[in-house]
Amino acid sequence: MNIATPYGEISVVNEPAYTFGSADNVRAYPFAKFLAPGTRPVSIHGLLLNGQPLAVFGAAGGATGVHEHSALWSNELLLLAVCNSVVSVRLQPFELCWALRVDDASCFGLHFHQQSGSLISHGELSITRFTEAGAIMWQSGGYDIFTGSLVLNDEFISIEDFNGHEHRFAYLDGDRVA
């Protein structure tokens, strides 16, 4: 996955063989952060800036891969989904701004709704709206895990659960919409 930024192209890559604290990794990242000390990494994602290693993040929880909704660029911040968390980094100068657990299992993807200015996490168990400062505004769950595609409609978020039930959530407060 690649994202164009004013500082160049960010590539998000899977790093399943990366070992935190080891000098024997294929890529040497200047910044490495494991978000769940005391556990084993389930997913590890690296950030490359113009092809050069920048940072690597790992977490425990439900596994995540790299795809079109793994990261997004918003107001000078790169947001990255890793397992059940979202990480926010500033590229120039590089800074880890925050890490936020957005789901009890996995964060399947990150979305931005332009009209409402909403940052949305599509989690396995919860849909979460959060701020650029790393605060949760609301979380809403369903009857079962959210396996369908998340759709950002004009007035609400729509998603299907494992049993095919459609759930609609209001951008403002996460309340159900009929």
pLDDT of residue 156: 97
Q: Please report whether residue 132 resides in a domain.
A: yes
- Dihedrals phi, psi of 49, to nearest 5 degrees: -110, 115
Q: Which domain holds residue 129?
A: 2-170
Q: Please report whether residue 157 resides in a domain.
A: yes
Determine how many CB atoms are found less than 10 A away from the CB of residue 22: 10
pLDDT of residue 165: 95
Q: Please report whether residue 79 resides in a domain.
A: yes
Rounded to two decimals, what is the model's pTM?
0.95
**Do 147 and 160 form a contact (C-beta atoms < 8 A)?**
yes
Determine how many CB atoms are found less than 10 A away from the CB of residue 144: 14
Q: Residue 43 is part of a domain; what is its CATH number?
A: 2.130.10.10
Confidence of residue 137 (pLDDT cuts 50, 70, 90): very high
Tens of pLDDT, residues 83-105? 999 999 999 999 999 999 999 99
Task: Give me the number of domains the chain comprises.
Answer: 1
DSSP code for 150 = P
pLDDT of residue 97: 98
**Do 127 and 104 form a contact (C-beta atoms < 8 A)?**
no
Q: Please report whether residue 57 resides in a domain.
A: yes
